[in-house]
Chains A and B, each alone.
Chain A
Amino acid sequence: MGRLRLKTSTDNLLTYGLVIVAYVVIRILIAGGSISSALQGQLVPITAYIVMAVSLNLTVGVLGELSLGHAGFMSVGAFSGVVTATLLAGAIPTTWLRLALAMLIGAIFAGIFGFLIGVPVLRLEGDYLAIVTLAFGEIIKNVMNIIYIGYDASGIQFSMESTNALQLGEGGKVILSGPMGAIGITKLSTFTAGFILILISLVIVLNLINSRAGRAIMAVRDDKIAAESVGISVWRYRMMAFVTSAMLAGAAGALYALNYSTVVARKFDFNTSILVLVFVVLGGMGNIRGSIIAATVLTVLPEVLRTFNEVRMLVYAVILILVMLVRNNTTLQHLFQRIGVRRKKDLLNGEKGDDA
């Protein structure tokens, strides 16, 4: 008895440990100068993608609903974060505080969108839900393409036509410029900020899973009718998981956007949603540590594969297919088990006759 609980908590500690060790190692490598500048430029995007993967895993793995519009929430977080950071530039000189606030506002806006989208979407299930979330991602992208925001002495100006329509006064500054995206961003994001955001999302997601609300979410995933029959409000817990997932994606979006001087809405399109979904599927549904590893490896991989030049994406695709095949091969899984590589799934099974 209690073995399962013990193992889940050691499992979680392993996940935190992995992230912290990876951070320390990378810091040391940077100090030693053994990480190329191209790879160093990838560090913040990697952390943003890890948070994206962890948060999508909450929807896909824990809630059990396929969402194809996760990049849409990233987009909402990115642009609201950029606007926040730019507007606060004068008021708050401390960059880390400005970044934190930008991520917070990004998370809140994405959460609001998550709720608004959730109201109609969470009435649906399965394929229908997937299609509506896909549409949401595309809608957000197109809406962002026609939004113009600027500010001047008289305050924030908003338009859906062009930068000229903002009619900015003397010394005015354009923040969002429609299809040109957010321009003139002050780069605030750091690798350490990304690392802290990963830790925060891990605390939120892992603690949520191992709590009353998390059990209710998983109960809804496993059997909606049975969950209702034991007094769980299905709608409420689906919404809770969906909004939490959207908020984390929003924070990741703000982190991602504030790492560049310009960001366009096209960056957060269907391909990005699918990319994040690939991280989740490859890392294993409901397996948070798997998501982290998959996000890291698959973001670094294209950089590493630059030596292959033209066939780079082909090799990338082949590696994806191979990993999928290996993961789903029962013979290999048994082999891994025998040599001591144990998956979470097996921990849950427990062994018979070993009950005390």
Chain B
Amino acid sequence: MSDSRKKTKMVPLPSQAIIPERDTAEKPILEVHRLGINFGGLVAVEDFNIAVGRTEICGLIGPNGAGKTTIFNLLTKVYQPTSGAILLDGHDTSNMNTAQINKAGIARTFQNIRLFPTLSVEDNVKIGLHNQVKYSMATGILRLPRFFSSERRARERAMELLDIFDMTHLASHRASSLPYGAQRRLEFIRALATNPKLLLLDEPAAGMNPSETEELMSNIEKIRDQFQIAIILIEHDMRLVMGICEGIAVLNYGKIIAKGTPEEIQSNPLVIEAYLGKKKGDQ
């Protein structure tokens, strides 16, 4: 398994970039070469190639079961890829585990929200700051001066982040007591708190009404501009995807069937076929 990963040769970059003209001057933040995984013979993802610019917002779309979330799980090492290589900021991630991937700069949200339900909103964000504001266990137990200064810093930072989504007034509430939309936003904030270079959003607009989605779109762009990070999002809401994504990759049966700008994707016959099926008589 690991042998095949090591043997993989680097494929020249332009072939992977979703939109070749973007960010070409700089090294891409994420390069994925021939990524694949099979679960006991079932090929879930195969020959997945992608390159993402440093401040690019790109979309990963496709019908249900196409393998979109599996890609996120591979990028964050929840699953170990059976083939291919993932380079984050030019560094190989094959020996990293999920926690190390996060430290290296990938943060994510989950399709079915995964907060720390029994803890407060503030603590959820502070847990996101785990590797940003550090002090030892002994410092915490002995309540050394460093504890107080670090905790103050963590609290200030948590409030700043919560303020992005106007959630500071909810800081002391239990995470599980928040309404659905706020839980999604909190998960987003928690991911941001880890100071990522690349943010993976798994269906951020799920369960949101059109006006909430509108707000989310502007927030995603705002966060990209403010934090200067790249964002990959999985989304079924085409208005959101077409509205804010600069590049889109379409996945079907674990393979990329199309890559390009929103306009290119919308008119791509393969994409239309994957979503709507073939026209009668076409064969």
Contacts and interface: CB of A to CB of B under 8 A. Distances in A.
Interface string A1-35: 11111000000000000000000000000000000
A208 B119 contact: no
Interface residues of A, number: 37
Given A203-B141, A204-B141, A355-B169, A215 B191 contact: no
Contact of B140 (A212, A226, A349, A350): A212
B98 A212 contact: no
B137 A232 contact: no
Contacts of B119: 215, 218-219, 222
Interface string A63-88: 00000000000000000000000000
Given A203-B141, A215-B123, A350 B107 contact: no
Interface string B90-130: 00000001111011000110100011111110110011101
B98 A228 contact: yes
Nearest to B141: A207
B128 A212 contact: no
Interface of A: 1-5, 203-204, 207-208, 210-216, 218-219, 221-223, 225-234, 240, 348-350, 355-356
Nearest to B126: A215
B-side interface size class: 35 or more
Given A215-B126, A222-B117, A230 B191 contact: yes
B194 A214 contact: no
Contacts of A207: 140-143
Contacts of B137: 208, 211-213, 240
A234 B99 contact: yes
B190 interface: yes
Given A208-B137, A208-B140, A222-B116, A232 B174 contact: no
A240 B136 CA distance: 12
Contact of A214 (B98, B134, B140, B173): B140
B1 to A, nearest CB: 21
A338 B76 CA distance: 47
Contact of A219 (B103, B116, B141, B173): B116
B179 to A, nearest CB: 11
Given A226-B114, A226-B116, 8 more contacts: A208-B141, A215-B127, A219-B127, A222-B117, A223-B117, A225-B78, A240-B137, A355-B170
